[in-house]
Amino acid sequence: MRIRTVLGGLLGTVGAAALGNRLLKRRASEFDHRLAGIERTYRWRGMEASYTVAGDPDDEEMLLLHGIHAGASSYEFEPIVERLAENYRVVAVDLPGFGRSERPPLVYSAGLYADFIRDFAADVTDEPIVVASSLTGAFAVDAADESEFAHLVLIGPTADTGDERPWLRTLIRSPVVGTTLFNLLASKPSIRYFYDRDGYYDPDRIDEEVEYAWTSAHQPGARYAPASFASGTLDPDFDLQTELAALETPTTLVWGRDAELVPLREGRTLADAADLDLVVIDYATQLPHAEHPEKFVEYLTTELLEGELGVDSDVGSSSGVGSDSDLET
**Which of helix, strand or coil describes residue 278?**
strand
Within the chain, where are the H helices? 2-27, 78-84, 110-124, 135-144, 166-173, 176-185, 188-194, 207-216, 224-230, 240-246, 264-274, 288-291, 293-299
200 contacts 206 by C-beta, under 8 angstroms: yes
The answer to whether the pTM exceeds 0.85 is: yes
**Closest alpha carbon to 268 in 201, 327, 317:** 317
pLDDT of residue 9: 42
Q: Are strands 38-44 and 47-54 parallel, antiparallel or unpaired?
A: antiparallel
Q: Bridge-partner residues for 3, per DSSP?
A: none
pLDDT of residue 16: 37
CA distance 109 to 182: 19
85 contacts 60 by C-beta, under 8 angstroms: no
CA distances, 247 to each of 115, 152, 243 (Å): 17, 10, 6
Distant-in-sequence, close-in-space partners of 141: CB < 8 Å, separation ≥ 6: 152, 154, 157, 240, 243, 244, 247, 251
Report, as ranges of residue numbers, the positions in the chain whose pLDDT lies below 50.
1-21, 23-24, 307, 309-323, 325-329
CA distance 305 to 88: 9
Residue type, 49: A
pLDDT of residue 308: 52
Q: Per residue in 104-115, pLDDT tens?
A: 999 999 999 999
Q: What angle do CA 268, 270, 274 make, to 5 degrees?
A: 120
